[in-house]
A and B are shown apart, each in its own frame.
Chain A
């Protein structure tokens, strides 16, 4: 009996012993036949397994029999599972593992696009860069001017990109067009953008070849994406040499809703009393405004956002009349009211679909008074937009969308002249619809092809235009890629022409772009060449009565961007160079010439340094542009004179300090520190005998400001849901 039991135990133990020894060995390699160290190869639901060594090989023994699952798993690679049968015979297993696709490994369309985002990694700028660039004065467009492709234009607001006018660049917030993105300025003085860079989590600056989602822009698109819910409840206060401001953002405890507002008041009178200005201000510029926002997460994937903006401004300026011999001064008084609202809702529809719906209303009224004229100019825009996108497989995406805009433009003038008075009251209404379809097709993770088409129909023009767009990008290596883009772009003629008895038709441009870039964590190098052809530019046959689209032109050039955050410790700098060759015949140009808003060479160096010991951030921006053409009526060759070269060095410094839960920043900045002469062009008298240089209102602009941010100290607050 005892023997039986003993032998039974023995047999049991033996069976276990005999079957136990199966050796599994092999080598793990990736798609490029490179061996991969550190890979975990193991039998599922067991301790048995091993990590691959430096040469990618592994070996282990298994104490099981029958069917098991062999797992090959490694960070950054797709996990593989394979069923095998263990029958006591050694197994050789040589798996090939595939790299997991993530944003960094997948090619993206880069031709013509410069992006600032915290969320995406392969971006040229971060939103914070916009605020901390010297000379930009925390203005989005000011910062974008340090990037290649844009011109250093100081006499007119807007971004002049690659031989295009400021009106050829459109600003878009959450997909919705902004009619008046800049403050209304006085003649020959560029004004700032209306929107604070802190509002946006992402900025896409496109210098050409952009997606079919964007229309009515022949040269460039600035697409801004507003912030989602804030990280916490906070308040801000700002005191500066030009005004005061404050705001509050409340985040609900459940972190699903926030409400915020801010109010600002700026008055340049004290500043103008301190720093002399060239023009004589009868009323110093005063800006009063505010904004309101509401954000709500409607589900884990849905978000509803509202943004409303309101501002009024007032100024009066007197300039010496060039045609007068007795010191007569021209008067320009402006009163502006601007409202912009934007409502968007984004949600998933099932697994694959995403929809984006939005509506926006804006109105802008300028009341202008001169000695002779009283002008009232109004622009209203109501719009709605719907975009549906569907992801296909892992990477590819298909988008389809429609836009509707109702635009009203009014222009009323009461003019007094020596022998007569005149009144004009002009109104323009447009119903505009557009639709687009576009697909980003990933042929492999390294090769993407975008094909899109857009149709625009404006009731004013009574004509539909179809614009095809396409681009392709190929990833050369871990950090570098090449990209090509082509597209046709239509735009309604500038606002002035809406009041012509017979409206000229669409203006058109065609872009061809080639781009190569290398982006790693610390360096960015981008080189882009392009050719842009203009057809159907607006030509004036007879001022205020007849214009057509017989104009034409071209722009070609080279844009280079280099950014380096590593070579010098605590220093981040970037260098932009723009070469531009452009000519056009448009408006009243008798021949095709280089326009007044184009410089052959433009270069910018932005330098930022952070000194941790002193809590100090300092920076400078140096900009250079070669001379720009201007019209000299005394020179028989049209537009063949050139202004002096443009030089500007702006510096800034910010001192940061945290006191309790108050984070404070003391910022100081000066533009054109060395007081370089800056001439944007000349204006001639009627008799052509006198001329006046168009210059900035003052050599330098000084700014000092204190910004306080009070964050609710929630480190003591315990959260219960944080997954």
Chain B
């Protein structure tokens, strides 16, 4: 009898544990699913908050931190001036946590590159050279960590697209980068249902703009 009670308790506990894990996956799936359709700052903020909460509970998972950073970097595109830096600082905080949990991850380096690029918009004339170089290096590192990851190539395209031709950018240079990214998107298999798998639609959109 005693044995049975112990066994039962263990069973219930394990049920709880696997439920917990299932819960993590399902909560993440639910929130990652709405990422692509979320463009509004207040929605992104609330989504970032959700990922921050999940990160606080799931200390060993890098993805909640990664997505929190992803939300903040996307918020920078909706704002101007000093707020860009404020969001970037916050994004950097989360991506550093993600990096400490999962080192040498191509996705994390891609996002780091994206944060560096976002900082350029505050003052392209004075920041272009410095942060452009940092972002470029981070993208190269991301490529070297996973050659099948389309996101560093997609970000290459974005960087070229938004750099004036006189500083070595332009549509002509962006196009092959987008094409390469698109090719990789066709074959890219995310590691799980909640692993990063964004950017394909945007690539298609910009590739169209390059050929216009």
Residue numbers of A with Cβ under 8 A of B are 5, 8-9, 12, 37-40, 42, 44-49, 51, 54, 71, 73, 75-76, 104, 118, 121, 126-128, 231-232, 520-522, 612, 615, 656-658, 663, 714-720, 722-723
Answer whether residue B172 sits at the interface, using C-beta atoms and an 8 A cutoff: no
Q: Across the interface, do B137 and A46 meet the contact criterion of CB distance under 8 Å?
A: no
Minimum CB–CB distance for B159 against chain A, Å: 10
Q: Across the interface, do B46 and A612 meet the contact criterion of CB distance under 8 Å?
A: no
Which residues of chain B from 69 to 116 have any CB-CB distance to chain A below 8 Å in the complex? Answer: 72, 80-82, 86-87, 90, 96, 99, 112
Q: How far is the CA of A717 from the CA of B137 in the complex (A)?
A: 7
**8 Å CB contact of B133 from A54, A231, A718:** A231
Q: Across the interface, do A51 and B49 meet the contact criterion of CB distance under 8 Å?
A: yes
Q: Across the interface, do A5 and B8 meet the contact criterion of CB distance under 8 Å?
A: yes
Answer whether residue B191 sits at the interface, using C-beta atoms and an 8 A cutoff: no
Give the interface centre of B52, B136, B166 by most chain A CB atoms within 10 Å: B166
Q: Across the interface, do A126 and B27 meet the contact criterion of CB distance under 8 Å?
A: no
- With A9-B8, A38-B46, A718-B144 known as contacts, the answer to whether A121 contacts B82 (CB < 8 A) is yes
Q: Across the interface, do A45 and B167 meet the contact criterion of CB distance under 8 Å?
A: no
Q: Across the interface, do B129 and A231 meet the contact criterion of CB distance under 8 Å?
A: yes
Q: How far is the CA of A54 from the CA of B45 in the complex (A)?
A: 12
**8 Å CB contact of A658 from B46, B130, B141, B166:** B166
Q: How far is the CA of A45 from the CA of B59 in the complex (A)?
A: 8
Q: Across the interface, do A657 and B166 meet the contact criterion of CB distance under 8 Å?
A: yes
Answer whether residue B118 sits at the interface, using C-beta atoms and an 8 A cutoff: no
Q: How far is the CA of A90 from the CA of B24 in the complex (A)?
A: 26
Q: Across the interface, do B123 and A42 meet the contact criterion of CB distance under 8 Å?
A: no
Q: How far is the CA of A49 from the CA of B51 in the complex (A)?
A: 11
Q: How far is the CA of A720 from the CA of B104 in the complex (A)?
A: 10
Q: Across the interface, do A714 and B137 meet the contact criterion of CB distance under 8 Å?
A: yes
Please, could you name 10 A-B residue pairs with CB atoms under 8 Å apart, sorted by A?
A5-B4, A38-B45, A40-B53, A71-B56, A73-B49, A104-B82, A231-B133, A714-B136, A717-B137, A722-B137
Closest A-B pairs by Cβ, 7 of them: A40-B49, A521-B81, A615-B166, A715-B136, A51-B46, A38-B45, A658-B168
What 0/1 readout, one digit per residue, does chain B (130-150) give for beta carbons within 8 Å of chain A? 100110111011001000000
- With A75-B87, A231-B130, A521-B82 known as contacts, the answer to whether A45 contacts B140 (CB < 8 A) is no
Query: Quick one: closest B residue to A60, CB to CB?
Result: B53
Q: How far is the CA of A128 from the CA of B129 in the complex (A)?
A: 13
Answer whether residue B57 sits at the interface, using C-beta atoms and an 8 A cutoff: yes
CB contacts (< 8 Å) of A615 on chain B: these are 164-166
Q: Across the interface, do B27 and A47 meet the contact criterion of CB distance under 8 Å?
A: yes
Minimum CB–CB distance for B151 against chain A, Å: 17
Minimum CB–CB distance for B165 against chain A, Å: 7
Minimum CB–CB distance for B35 against chain A, Å: 16
Query: Quick one: closest B residue to A656, CB to CB?
Result: B166
Having A8-B8, A521-B81, A522-B81, one finds 4 other A-B pairs with CB under 8 Å, namely A73-B49, A76-B86, A718-B141, A722-B141
Q: Across the interface, do B57 and A45 meet the contact criterion of CB distance under 8 Å?
A: yes
Q: How far is the CA of A612 from the CA of B125 in the complex (A)?
A: 12
Q: How far is the CA of A44 from the CA of B144 in the complex (A)?
A: 37
Minimum CB–CB distance for B168 against chain A, Å: 4
CB contacts (< 8 Å) of A49 on chain B: these are 49, 53
Q: How far is the CA of A718 from the CA of B138 in the complex (A)?
A: 8
CB contacts (< 8 Å) of A76 on chain B: these are 86
Q: How far is the CA of A40 from the CA of B45 in the complex (A)?
A: 9
Query: Quick one: closest A residue to B85, CB to CB?
Result: A121
**8 Å CB contact of A715 from B42, B123, B130, B137:** B137
CB contacts (< 8 Å) of B59 on chain A: these are 45
Which residues of chain B from 14 to 46 have any CB-CB distance to chain A below 8 Å in the complex? Answer: 23, 27, 42, 45-46
Minimum CB–CB distance for A50 against chain B, Å: 8
Query: Quick one: closest B residue to A38, CB to CB?
Result: B45
- With A38-B46, A663-B167, A715-B137 known as contacts, the answer to whether A128 contacts B56 (CB < 8 A) is no
Residue numbers of B with Cβ under 8 A of A are 4-5, 8, 12, 23, 27, 42, 45-46, 49-50, 52-54, 56-57, 59, 72, 80-82, 86-87, 90, 96, 99, 112, 123, 125-127, 129-130, 133-134, 136-138, 140-141, 144, 164-168
Q: Across the interface, do B126 and A128 meet the contact criterion of CB distance under 8 Å?
A: yes
CB contacts (< 8 Å) of B45 on chain A: these are 38, 51, 75
Q: Across the interface, do B52 and A40 meet the contact criterion of CB distance under 8 Å?
A: yes
Minimum CB–CB distance for B103 against chain A, Å: 11
CB contacts (< 8 Å) of B138 on chain A: these are 719, 722
CB contacts (< 8 Å) of B125 on chain A: these are 126, 128
Query: Quick one: closest B residue to A662, CB to CB?
Result: B168
Q: Across the interface, do B133 and A715 meet the contact criterion of CB distance under 8 Å?
A: yes
Q: Across the interface, do B46 and A47 meet the contact criterion of CB distance under 8 Å?
A: no
Query: Quick one: closest A residue to B20, CB to CB?
Result: A47
Q: How far is the CA of A5 from the CA of B8 in the complex (A)?
A: 8
Q: Across the interface, do A73 and B96 meet the contact criterion of CB distance under 8 Å?
A: no
Minimum CB–CB distance for B163 against chain A, Å: 9
Q: Across the interface, do A9 and B140 meet the contact criterion of CB distance under 8 Å?
A: no
Q: Across the interface, do A42 and B166 meet the contact criterion of CB distance under 8 Å?
A: no
Q: Across the interface, do A44 and B123 meet the contact criterion of CB distance under 8 Å?
A: no
- With A5-B8, A42-B56 known as contacts, the answer to whether A126 contacts B126 (CB < 8 A) is yes
- With A615-B165, A663-B167 known as contacts, the answer to whether A719 contacts B12 (CB < 8 A) is no
Q: Across the interface, do B56 and A45 meet the contact criterion of CB distance under 8 Å?
A: yes
Q: How far is the CA of A121 from the CA of B4 in the complex (A)?
A: 68
Give the interface centre of B8, B46, B49, B54 by most chain A CB atoms within 10 Å: B49
Q: How far is the CA of A528 from the CA of B115 in the complex (A)?
A: 39
CB contacts (< 8 Å) of A46 on chain B: these are 53, 56-57
- With A42-B53, A718-B137, A722-B137 known as contacts, the answer to whether A75 contacts B86 (CB < 8 A) is yes
Q: Across the interface, do A75 and B90 meet the contact criterion of CB distance under 8 Å?
A: yes
Q: How far is the CA of A127 from the CA of B4 in the complex (A)?
A: 77
- With A46-B57, A521-B81 known as contacts, the answer to whether A658 contacts B167 (CB < 8 A) is yes
CB contacts (< 8 Å) of A121 on chain B: these are 82
Q: Across the interface, do A717 and B140 meet the contact criterion of CB distance under 8 Å?
A: yes
Give the interface centre of B23, B137, B144, B167 by most chain A CB atoms within 10 Å: B137
Q: Across the interface, do A44 and B56 meet the contact criterion of CB distance under 8 Å?
A: yes
Query: Quick one: closest A residue to B46, CB to CB?
Result: A51
CB contacts (< 8 Å) of B99 on chain A: these are 723
CB contacts (< 8 Å) of A715 on chain B: these are 133, 136-137, 140
CB contacts (< 8 Å) of A656 on chain B: these are 166-167
Q: How far is the CA of A118 from the CA of B125 in the complex (A)?
A: 11
Q: How far is the CA of A12 from the CA of B9 in the complex (A)?
A: 9
Q: Across the interface, do B54 and A47 meet the contact criterion of CB distance under 8 Å?
A: yes
Q: Across the interface, do A47 and B133 meet the contact criterion of CB distance under 8 Å?
A: no
Minimum CB–CB distance for A620 against chain B, Å: 19
Query: Quick one: closest B residue to A50, CB to CB?
Result: B49
**8 Å CB contact of A719 from B5, B96, B141, B164:** B141
- With A8-B5, A715-B137, A717-B140 known as contacts, the answer to whether A47 contacts B82 (CB < 8 A) is no
Give the interface centre of B23, B87, B168 by most chain A CB atoms within 10 Å: B168
Q: How far is the CA of A403 from the CA of B50 in the complex (A)?
A: 56
Q: How far is the CA of A322 from the CA of B180 in the complex (A)?
A: 77
CB contacts (< 8 Å) of B54 on chain A: these are 47
Q: How far is the CA of A49 from the CA of B126 in the complex (A)?
A: 41
CB contacts (< 8 Å) of A521 on chain B: these are 80-82
Q: How far is the CA of A663 from the CA of B167 in the complex (A)?
A: 7
Q: How far is the CA of A104 from the CA of B86 in the complex (A)?
A: 11
CB contacts (< 8 Å) of A45 on chain B: these are 56-57, 59
Q: How far is the CA of A501 from the CA of B106 in the complex (A)?
A: 76
CB contacts (< 8 Å) of B23 on chain A: these are 47
Q: Across the interface, do B133 and A714 meet the contact criterion of CB distance under 8 Å?
A: yes
CB contacts (< 8 Å) of B57 on chain A: these are 45-47
Q: How far is the CA of A152 from the CA of B164 in the complex (A)?
A: 37
Q: How far is the CA of A719 from the CA of B112 in the complex (A)?
A: 13
Minimum CB–CB distance for A10 against chain B, Å: 11
Q: How far is the CA of A186 from the CA of B133 in the complex (A)?
A: 45
Query: Quick one: closest B residue to A234, CB to CB?
Result: B129
Q: Across the interface, do B126 and A118 meet the contact criterion of CB distance under 8 Å?
A: yes
Minimum CB–CB distance for B80 against chain A, Å: 7
CB contacts (< 8 Å) of B166 on chain A: these are 615, 656-658
**8 Å CB contact of B49 from A38, A128, A722:** A38
Query: Quick one: closest B residue to A40, CB to CB?
Result: B49
